[in-house]
Structure 1
Amino acid sequence: MAPGNKFKSSELILLCEWEECLFVGKCMEEFCDHIAEHLKEYQQHPLERTEQYHCWWRNCEFLATGPRELVTHVNFHSYHTKLKFLGSQLRASHQDWPACSQNSYNQNQIPRISEMYVCQWENCDVTYNNPEWFYRHVAMHAYSTEKENISSNKKAICCCLWKDCSGTFKGKHKLWDHLRTHTQERVVACPSCGAMFSNNTKFFDHAKRQVSEDQQVFVCQNCDKHFANERLLRDHMRGHVTHVTCPFCDMVCTSVSSLKAHIRFRHCDERPFHCDLCESSFKNAYDLHKHVETHNDSNAYSCDVEGCVFTSRTLQILRQHYKRAHMNNGNLKYKCHICQKCYSWCYTLTLHLRKAHKLSCHSRFRFMFRVAQSS
């Protein structure tokens, strides 16, 4: 396990949510091996090799553009499962916390991520497709770093050797905490809504914010906003008194981090993410990903609903079409004619028919489009 992790591997309870799987893992090694078997079975099936790559994690509607992106995406689900378990342990130790009021349907919605995690530590270019192993690898850099003496100061310090970083820290644990700002590592997630946090304090704040309005008795004198405790009010008040002015324009930010983001997107011309198909370049990987989709042919993405001939150049437009044309206020549309279970995607119904009812088809199942009525 990564140094400093509060819970040992033997104490984890990891529930697989791949379609109807009931597997429970006791450590990340076992759990990730199990998820790898799901991915292997998915990619080896003749039907899936000719279709778009849909994530079969429960309540996840992600469509990958290829097998590598799907693997990285599903591996993040396994890591997210661990974070939600750690969150459930923290909640269990604070019985006085109010229940999370956020939408639980989004519990398994995770951010879009790049296809690989790349270590940018000096003289290291190791890549991973699983965040668990990536974060462990980065932690090892922090804890194997030797302290150095600065000529003007006899105290030994740890230096961050991440690309373009010159930070120094008193100890290895402080360095490890700092590296999370480079890797965007999250350490805990809300077991109810799935929101992820970079430290326990932010998770505590999330829980405290769920109290009813009549219990939010701490009031900001500047804007009349209400808060559940004094510390949340103090954090909010900093936005009223802390002002960091941009050196290039009249923009005033409430924190140094927001100022850095402002400068990067408004005043910095550096665009390190280059398109391999044209001369365009972008400031972040997400914008590049959206741009690359525009190079697709007009029929690169097509709707799979029976009788629908809609096609689009980008995955985002296809998703918008599906929700507008084929979804009815979020109701599930595909119903099993044998057991009446409902699914939101034809692919998940196909898997259900194969596994639960042992049905097969030479090419692929064909479905009649009808809105599934709720019971």
Structure 2
Amino acid sequence: GEQQPYCCDMSNKSFSHHSSPKKHQCIHSGERPFCCEVCGKSFNQKVHLKTHERTHSGKRPFCCEACKKSFSQQGHLKTHQRIHSGERPFCCNVCNKSFNDQSNLKKHQGLHSGERPFYCDVCNKSFSDHSNLKKHQGTHSGKRPFFCDMCNKSFSQQVNLKRHQRIHSGKRKFCCEVCKKSFSQQGCLKRHQRIHSGERPFCCDVCNKSFSERGHLKRHVSPHT
């Protein structure tokens, strides 16, 4: 292979260009000499600073040829392009499910490991990934930044807004395979399907009577308490 004569003294990693070991050694030293003039955040390499600066400038120089969507980072463009190509190179070694993005694979693997390292500092509830923690924290902050443009109702999460908007649009995309009845929300379909399956997953701790819906269990429990 190609000779790489420049070597890092700490990790023995070798490089083909004389300036590369100096850049690499910032990882070991913790030195972050490249500073953002807008927010003061610092970086160990100039290329990382340049990438960060686009968050302030709004520049998105990497464009998808298929749909013309643009991105601030080349890596984000590559991940996006897999939507068009169908490529899913990141595979779970437990169940063989594959993903187009490594971060989605890591989130998925948390389901197998049961690991929930992200804790809410208000109620101590734990989550398998950081994005779910952030969504949850919105319930404590009271922030509801997602507004319905039809009725002005607000929501803490975009997914809840989209679910709500189906009330206005009349979309009922969740269909029962048994009786073909359709629903605007997946949760409503699941509750309905228990009529066919006979499933009663909500059980009273006092008398062991079971119910198909949590609300029915709550009404039942009141006389016991």
**Structure 2 length as normaliser, TM-score?**
0.36
Specify the structure having the higher radius of gyration (Cα): 2
**Structure 1 length as normaliser, TM-score?**
0.24
